[in-house]
Structure 1
């Protein structure tokens, strides 16, 4: 008799006991993205609108897309910052599912857009929710996905957005052996670091990719999930030599009783 354990698990996860939350921005020319990238471009190659096959091919609609590898909600592979790091095609499928930990600092970020998440913040979180499990995906909730402009520039055009302290990321890797991190802004590091003249560029991002972890940036809807108890599934193309790509990430969490 066939073993249907996994089928039963899927049925259970799709039952009313759980909620599924999309953590991904819709992909379009209007998608929030890093200021250095052009908007996604969509060119129509074939169309079925008039019912006439083009070049004797079947009448169908087909587009060609041009998009930056780190556009919208996306994954950063280690090779993004390190030439000897793994690319997306080297990431195994069993690395795409994690226990999800959410550290909520949205109130602090609302009060201070230059907020930086520290080791003390993580230790305080553990006092309330317990030890972060090994292999976890740790997401920094800032509610930044609600911003019309991720850069949040001031009157002088200087960006202000929150980020990780590199020491906090190191602590998570060295003390908790986490699997990946994620956040809502387009950078790992806060704006006051990435835009500081003469500063070491992107220390947090440099570090997390140097230790063979990937990260998901420009996330959304973390406010719909509990601090603990959910799982996250991350998906992206198995693209050869890819430094990153727009990703689809979603979480499954128990519904509150």
Structure 2
């Protein structure tokens, strides 16, 4: 295939497909894991004195919409710089469990949920990115997404370990993603630790946390682009993710 054909294909995709931004913007107000500080920035150079503007940012690696590399939890596992460009583009399967989450903020994704999705949409393809749509991003603010009860305990949904084991061992997926700031439901991590997050990262796969706008994507047929910096030995980084969707 010539370069010209690729250019023509790109022009066609831009005109005929829906492009969905799946990332939060980065600012001090960006939702993030409650244990991390908000981003801070300062002007390093400015127009009046220097003729150009540049900023210094102080930001935790896992801030806002971000990628977690396996080495984030597992010593000696893969870091961000080990993932190739083609590892970052995958078929997108969206598990829409938003109605269940609306009824139960502590909802946990199960194998049965995955099988029910497959009965409707077909088998999850090997190498797919499986995203858990909870509509949690619609809560908007940091406080709302933490969803604390009267005792100060967080309540938000997440993955069950058996569900992730099924996706890895039976479907050989490429990666997972979700809208909350954790892989595990808050009530599980409070009791047992981050067991689901440890599991998925221990398999050598990355995950994307704090996704948004999954409600604008179809359950099947889209492609996700998970872009992040090639930082040597990095455990994670803020990510710009987007989906190419059929109209």
Pairwise same-fold verdict (TM > 0.5): yes
Residue 158 of structure 1 is matched in structure 2 by 153
Give the aligned length: 244
Q: Tell me the alpha carbon deviations over residues 132-166 of structure 1, each in whole angstroms, 9 at most, x when there is no partner.
A: 01100000000000113221111211100000001
Shift in CA distance, 2/161, structure 1 to aligned 2, threshold 3 Å: closer
Residue 69 of structure 2 is matched in structure 1 by 77
Shift in CA distance, 2/215, structure 1 to aligned 2, threshold 3 Å: closer
Residue 137 of structure 1 is matched in structure 2 by 129
Paired with 1:25 and 1:86, the residues of 2 have a C-alpha distance of: 25
Q: CA deviation at 1:6?
A: 1.3
Residue 239 of structure 1 is matched in structure 2 by 231
Residue 28 of structure 1 is matched in structure 2 by 27
Paired with 2:49 and 2:99, the residues of 1 have a C-alpha distance of: 56
Residue 56 of structure 1 is matched in structure 2 by none
Q: 1:62 aligns with which of 54, 60, 74?
A: 54
Q: TM-score when scaled to structure 1? A: 0.93
Residue 12 of structure 2 is matched in structure 1 by 12
Q: Tell me the alpha carbon deviations over residues 30-50 of structure 1, each in whole angstroms, 9 at most, x when there is no partner.
A: 0000011110000111110xx
Unaligned runs of 5+ in 1: 54-58
The more displaced of 147-156 and 84-93 is: 147-156
Paired with 2:87 and 2:161, the residues of 1 have a C-alpha distance of: 23
Paired with 2:35 and 2:186, the residues of 1 have a C-alpha distance of: 14
Q: Tell me the alpha carbon deviations over residues 1-59 of structure 1, each in whole angstroms, 9 at most, x when there is no partner.
A: 954221121111101x21000000000010000011110000111110xx333xxxxx1
CA radius of gyration, larger in: 1
> Which is richer in helix?
2
Q: 1:109 aligns with which of 95, 101, 117?
A: 101
- What secondary structure does 2:145 align onto? coil
- Aligned CA RMSD, in angstroms, stands at 1.1
Unaligned runs of 5+ in 2: none
Paired with 1:97 and 1:222, the residues of 2 have a C-alpha distance of: 16
Paired with 2:78 and 2:213, the residues of 1 have a C-alpha distance of: 28
Residue 127 of structure 1 is matched in structure 2 by 119
Q: TM-score when scaled to structure 2? A: 0.97
